[in-house]
Amino acid sequence: MRALVYHGPGQRAFEERPEPRLSAPTDAVVRITHTTICGTDLHILHGDVPSVDAGRILGHEGVGIIEQVGTSVLDFKVGDQVLISCISSCGRCVNCRKGMPSHCMNGGGWILGNLIDGTQAERVLIPFADHSLYTIPNGTDEIGLVMLSDILPTGFECGVLSGCMKPGDSVAIIGAGPIGLATLLTAQFYTPAEIFLVDVDDHRLEWAKKFGATRVINNSDGLAVEKILAMTGGRGVDVAIEAIGHAASFDICQAIVAAGGHIANIGVHGKPVQLDLQRLWSHNITLTTRLVDAVSTQMLIKEVGSGRLDPRDLITHHFTLDQIMEAYDTFGQAMDQRALKVIISNGP
């Protein structure tokens, strides 16, 4: 089968790879119909995720059709149309039962496109199928649901929920890329009074306005902190969300969070950051970090079904699997290409 393969920092190839085969009775093999590229995939290509070995098929998002199931799979059958979670869950260990499958103790967690081959291929092996797949409801747009594999649960869980967002809060999201915009869309479930979006790309800030940001700030001049403090009467914001993975954006969060506020880190950091504890220690600040657990996926599917959430809004470009190298070039130059999320389709 054809697949996008990582060959070390800065090296990727679209090449032939062996078909996946069932290796455990809880496995399923899914034929991918639509997948996408994540910012984390770019971090892998930059060498920021050392757990990914050369030779790995990338990708941890997608929808598809089940072609094989193991003898212990109870909830799915061949022919079912499914959403693939970015997190694989055994459903039985202590951490999975605590709602923290990102730290599954039986070989799950974020393994797709990381520790095992992923979804940017014609087919993918899914471990723990009963706890790692979701049935796509009849009549639901499957292309839009690709956004529920990762970025919408990530923005919601790591940003909105970890930030303890509540009605009337002031919120600042640093980074208007796909994760930042996914956080913006799901933040509105909690009706914050103000949502600031900070970025250096006017095109993405225009999208942020469309998606519900009350104020947008272009930080090309490096004055985002001063602007937000001025807009909030010097107080800062109740919730500051880092959605890029850069030291500079984390510094903005530290500088703008109000006393008693929350800093929620979402971004993948490949390098250390400076924690300004000498200033924050007396401010009653809560700082959270986490990997998405995707425990909100079923709820988000319902929100899509109700019409309150339209994940297709995040999709700007479409490619076929044969064009996946071009798709990476486009997504890797998102500002120049005006790209948010790309969809890569495999067959009809």
Can you give the CATH number for the domain in which 43 is found?
3.90.180.10
Last residue of a domain, one of 259, 289, 319: 289
Overall number of domains in the chain: 2
Residues 299-328: what's their mean pLDDT?
A: 95
| 258 and 315 housed in the same domain | no
For residues 64 and 31, the answer to whether their CB atoms sit within 8 Å is yes
Statement: residue 299 has pLDDT above 90: yes
Please give the residue that has the higher pLDDT: either 269 or 67. Answer: 67
Q: Say yes or no: 261 and 158 in one domain.
A: yes
Three-class SS of residue 59?
A: coil
For position 270, what pLDDT does the model report?
80
φ/ψ of residue 199, rounded to 5 = -160, 175
pLDDT of residue 290: 94
**What's the average model confidence in pLDDT over 232-252?**
97
Tell me: pLDDT of 243 over 90: yes
Q: What is the largest CA-CA distance in the chain?
A: 62
The domain containing residue 188 runs over which residues?
153-289
Beta bridge partners of 123: 31
Looking at the structure, tell me whether residues 9 and 98 fall in a common domain: yes
Domain co-membership, 63 together with 126: yes
Task: Measure the CA dihedral 5/136/183/129, to 10°.
Answer: -50
Question: What is the tens place of the pLDDT at every residue in 17-50?
Answer: 999 999 999 999 999 999 999 999 999 999 989 9
The pLDDT value recorded for residue 348 is 59
Instruction: Please tell me the predicted confidence (pLDDT) of residue 114.
Output: 98
Percent helix, strand, coil in the chain, to 5, is 35, 25, 40
Q: Is residue 234's pLDDT more than 80?
A: yes
- Based on the fold, state whether residues 193 and 209 are members of the same structural domain: yes
CB 177 within 8 A of CB 244: yes
pTM value is: 0.94
Last residue of a domain, one of 252, 272, 289: 289
Same domain membership, residue 130 and residue 47: yes
Chain mean position to CA 297 = 12
Instruction: Look at residue 271 in the predicted model and tell me its pLDDT.
Output: 87
Sheet containing 2-6: give its strands across: 12-16, 2-6, 56-57
The model's confidence at residue 287, banded by pLDDT at 50, 70 and 90, is very high
My answer on whether 132 and 170 are in the same domain is: no
* Residue 172 pLDDT greater than 90, yes or no: yes
Region 231-241 average pLDDT: 98
Beta-carbon contacts of residue 209 (< 8 Å; ≥ 6 apart): 216
Q: Among candidates 132, 111, 130, which has minimal Cα distance to 58? A: 111
Q: How many CA atoms lie within 13 A of 1 on its CB side?
A: 23
Rounded to an integer, what distance in angstroms lies between the CA atom of residue 12 and that of residue 291? 25
pLDDT score, position 141: 87
Residue 335: the pLDDT is 87
Same-domain check for residues 323 and 238: no
Using the 3D structure, point to which of 289, 311, 327 is the last residue of a domain.
Answer: 289
167 within 8 A of 239, measured Cβ to Cβ:
no
Is the pLDDT assigned to residue 120 strictly greater than 80?
yes
Tens digit of each residue's pLDDT (9 = 90 or more) over 201-219: 999 999 999 999 999 999 9
Looking at the fold, whether 83 and 172 belong to one and the same domain comes out as: no
Instruction: Express each pLDDT in 55-66 by its tens digit.
Output: 999 999 999 999
Segment 1-13 mean pLDDT:
97
Domain of 183, CATH number, reads 3.40.50.720
Angle of helix 224-231 relative to helix 247-256, nearest 10 degrees, comes to 20
Q: 145 and 12, same structural domain?
A: yes
Q: How far apart are CA 117 and CA 339, in angstroms?
A: 26
Kindly tell me if the per-residue pLDDT of 100 is higher than 90.
yes
Is the predicted pLDDT of residue 139 greater than 90, yes or no? no
Q: Based on the domain organization, do 103 and 167 belong to the same domain?
A: no
Q: Are residues 111 and 158 in the same domain?
A: no
pLDDT surpassing 70 at residue 187: yes
